[in-house]
Each structure stands twice: as C-alpha cells, then as structure tokens.
Amino acid sequence: MLRLRHIWLGLHRWLALSLGLFLALLGLSGSLLELKGPILRWEVGAPMLQLAPGEHGVPLEQSAWISAASSAYPQLQKVFGAAPPRQGFLESDNVIVFGALKERPGTGIAMIDPYNGEPRGFFVFEDLWLAKLVALHRSLLLPQALGSNLVLVCGLVLLGSLGSGLYLWWPGRRSWWKAASLRPGSRGSRRLREWHNLAAAWLCLPLLLIAGSGAWLARPDLFTWPGAPPMALKPLFSAAHGHLLLGAPGAWLAFACGLSLPLLYITGLLLWWRKRVARRAVQSFKET
C-alpha cells in the first residue's frame, strides 16, 4: 500500500513539475476570459457595444447587416459572417460582422445596429489585449499547430494530476471536512498543504469537466468519430468549458477554477521545494 502511494505521489509530483507553469497560465487566462465582456468594454468603449437610443422595430436580415458593414467599412476585404446580438464570442447588443482586412493581416470587426443597419464602430480584433489573452489560452502564444497540441497535453496532464491528487488526498474514514479545510493554528508547510488540498478538493469535479472539455476543444479532430463533423459538438464542449453548462453561476465557478490552478501550482511547488531542502539538510548532516 505504501509503495503504491509512493508511485502515485511521484506521478502527481512530476506531472505538476513538468507542465504546472503552463497549467497555471491556462487557468489564469481562462479566469480572465470569463471577464471578456468588461475587458472588451474597457478596450473599445461601451458606446460601440450598446444600441443607439430610440425606438427599435424588427431586426434586419443578415444580408442587410453584411451589406451595411461592407458599405460603411471598406477596409473589410471579405466578410466571413455576422453574429446576431448577444450570440457571438464577443458580447454586444449590436450585430458583429467580421471578416478579412484589405491592407493587413487580421480580423476586422464591424458593429452594426441590428434594426436600422447604422454603423456603430470598427476595430481589428488582433489589436486588442483581449485577443492576446485568447491566444494565450488557446495556444500559449505559440504557433497554432504546436500550441494546440501542447494545450491538449496540458488538459490530459491536468486530468492525471487531479486523479492522482484525489487518490493521495482521499480521507477514507477520516473527516472529509477536516481534510478539505484550513485548521486553526497551522503554519508553514502544513498550511501550504491545507491550501493545496482545499482548492483541489472543493473544485475537483468542475476542474475535471474543464480539463476534459479543454482537451477536446484544443484538438476536436482527434476525438470525433469518422464522418462526424467536429463543429457539431463544439457548442456543447464550449459551454461545458466556459460555464460548466450552468449559465452565469457556472461562469463564476469556472472563474474560481481558473484561479485555483496558479494556487495549486504555487503551493505544490513550495511544498516540493521545502521538502527537497529539508532532505538535503538531513543528508548533509549525515555526511558530517
């Protein structure tokens, strides 16, 4: 039994040491992306994302939105599509028309009033800090082919780390509450371990869902049976990853899960380092 526990401890330790920093970055960037609405308003201004004051009738057809965007913003070379209000990745009360630019690489974003087709604003997505945050979360700022594979590996490693950590933490007949809480008066390594256990124990189930869905989203082509289009399942996995299929409460829970990954990495790293220093001190004492 002790030998099996030693094996699981070694697996847990080296999974975390090998990719823990990347997991911390993915978690932190994921938490910030839960705040993409406020971040976007800060970057482009709230008026661009809000409907113009006045009466609003029946929304125009998608073709009218695209035509209005092409006329108002000639810098759009080719329109890829249009997202109705509150239905795209970017949160806006206006229609989001997006496409390729004429004079430079990047994605042009045109904001169009859904009722009268009036232009509300234009920006290049890649110029935003939000775009860099998305790139960090989706590919760790690496080329897409390399980054998506690394994010896939990170998702699988997180699943393994959560599984091994759950085995090592499992209280058995002991009090579950005590095993997943901070004890009064504890300090040093004991307090670090309690923080580590608290974050993982309380958020283990949503973290498992986020890790699994994130691995799928990184490379959906690897997990889809032959003949089935990966995009058909993407909305389901995106919802599981972004808000755990629970709407706004799930988004806040996902936000907490993202913040827990840097906490788990830092506390785990400190625990490993302190144990390593103590072991070296004992070895040095024996040699003298």
pTM strictly above 0.85: yes
| Residues 62, 161 share a domain | no
3-state SS record for the chain: CHHHHHHHHHHHHHHHHHHHHHHHHHHHHHHHHCCHHHHHHHHHCHHHHCCCCCCCCCCCCHHHHHHHHHHHCCCEEEEEEEECCCCCCCCCCCEEEEEEECCCCCEEEEEECCCCCCEEEEEEHHHCHHHHHHHHHHHCCCCHHHHHHHHHHHHHHHHHHHHHHHHHHCCCCCCHHHHCCCCCCCCHHHHHHHHHHHHHHHHHHHHHHHHHHHHHHHCHHHCCCCCCCHHHCHHHHHHHHHHCCCHHHHHHHHHHHHHHHHHHHHHHHHHHHHHHHHHHHHHHHHHC
Q: Answer with the one of 64, 88, 117 that is the final residue of a domain.
A: 117
Q: Answer with the one of 117, 152, 171 that is the final residue of a domain.
A: 117
Q: Is residue 223, in this structure, part of any structural domain at all?
A: yes
Taking 70 as the pLDDT cut, the residues of the chain under it are 1-2, 226-230, 284-288
In 3D space, the residue among 136, 133, 151 whose CA is nearest the CA of residue 214 turns out to be 151
| Residues 11, 75 share a domain | no
| Residues 150, 95 share a domain | no
Domains contained in the chain, number: 2
Q: Is residue 48, in this structure, part of any structural domain at all?
A: no
- The predicted pLDDT at position 208 comes to 98
Question: Parallel, antiparallel, or unpaired for β 107-112 and 95-101?
Answer: antiparallel
- The predicted pLDDT at position 6 comes to 79
Range of the domain at 142: 2-35+136-287
- The predicted pLDDT at position 54 comes to 80
| Residues 218, 105 share a domain | no
Tell me the pLDDT tens digit for each residue of 211-260.
Answer: 999 999 999 988 877 666 667 788 999 999 999 999 999 999 999 999 99
| Residues 269, 160 share a domain | yes
| Residues 85, 17 share a domain | no
- The predicted pLDDT at position 180 comes to 83
